[in-house]
Amino acid sequence: MFSVSKKKRTIPGFGLSVGYTIFYLSLIVLIPLSTLFFKTASLDFGAFWEAVASPRTLAAYRLSFGASFIAALVNAVFGFLIAWVLARYSFPGKKIIDALVDLPFALPTAVAGIALTAIYSPHGWVGRPLAALGIKTAFNATGVVLALTFIGLPFVVRTIQPVLEDFDPAVEEAAASLGADRWQTFRRVIFPALFPPLLTGATMAFARALGEYGSVIFISGNMPSKTEIAPLLIMTKLEQYDYAGATAIAVVMLLVSFALFLVINYLQWLGSRRSGMNP
């Protein structure tokens, strides 16, 4: 990525487009985010620590990061499967399934939350039989994971699918002709190529899940210290006009997420370098 700037650029317009990029990012992302830090800075350290490290806040972080992570994992597995089916097979109704994947993008999250709660609550179609088996699927952490899985699904499918569709069949044929069986081909040829988009998709799903509010609050039950997600805690602070306390929690979430994404990007870079060695 950065090697571009070292070489002499052959495509004109670099200065203009980068200038625009920075201006645009500042306007839409950086300046709004910087106010977070300014608001938080109005707290002294004791008050900041009080806001971000109370047992209740810690419980909320645990739930938010934990549930988002599990949801991203679930999406990585099943999203991969869906992308595989959509890219590799053709069957009647495929277009419809393809369109269904995008629904979580388009649906207002509150609607998603209400719909999920209706189905998974102890009186819902799915919740009732499961409740009879002793499995609670709403108003606990399971409900949170469920909602986060729902909203994260398209990210995984939509990042893997195009890569899979563009994957040259000749590579697989070459592997087969060199004596690889199908499992070996998948494991050593196809999967390494799909791993970077899979990681990207799962990361995006994870990031989306961390910030999700609308759909989760309907299904989580919102019990303090138990099923309270961090964004809800931010809302409760705002409801008390405690802007600084709210932004303090937001800043911590932002920094932790940023650190996580750096690590993931680093992993991805490692991965691409390794696969780049024997192309």
* Residue ranges in contact with other proteins by CB under 8 A: 56, 102, 105-106, 114, 117-118, 121-124, 139, 154, 158, 217-218, 221-225, 232, 235-236, 238-242, 245
Tell me how far, at minimum, the Cβ of 197 lies from other proteins, in Å: 12
Cβ distance to other proteins smaller for residue 106 or 132 = 106
Cβ distance to other proteins smaller for residue 68 or 159 = 159
What residues contact residue 104 under an 8 Å CB cut-off, 6+ apart?
Answer: 112, 150, 151, 152, 153, 154
Tell me how far, at minimum, the Cβ of 222 lies from other proteins, in Å: 4
Cβ distance to other proteins smaller for residue 145 or 237 = 237
**Other C-beta atoms within 10 Å of 218: how many?**
23
Cβ distance to other proteins smaller for residue 25 or 259 = 25
Tell me how far, at minimum, the Cβ of 274 lies from other proteins, in Å: 27
Tell me how far, at minimum, the Cβ of 189 lies from other proteins, in Å: 26
Tell me how far, at minimum, the Cβ of 170 lies from other proteins, in Å: 26
Cβ distance to other proteins smaller for residue 235 or 267 = 235
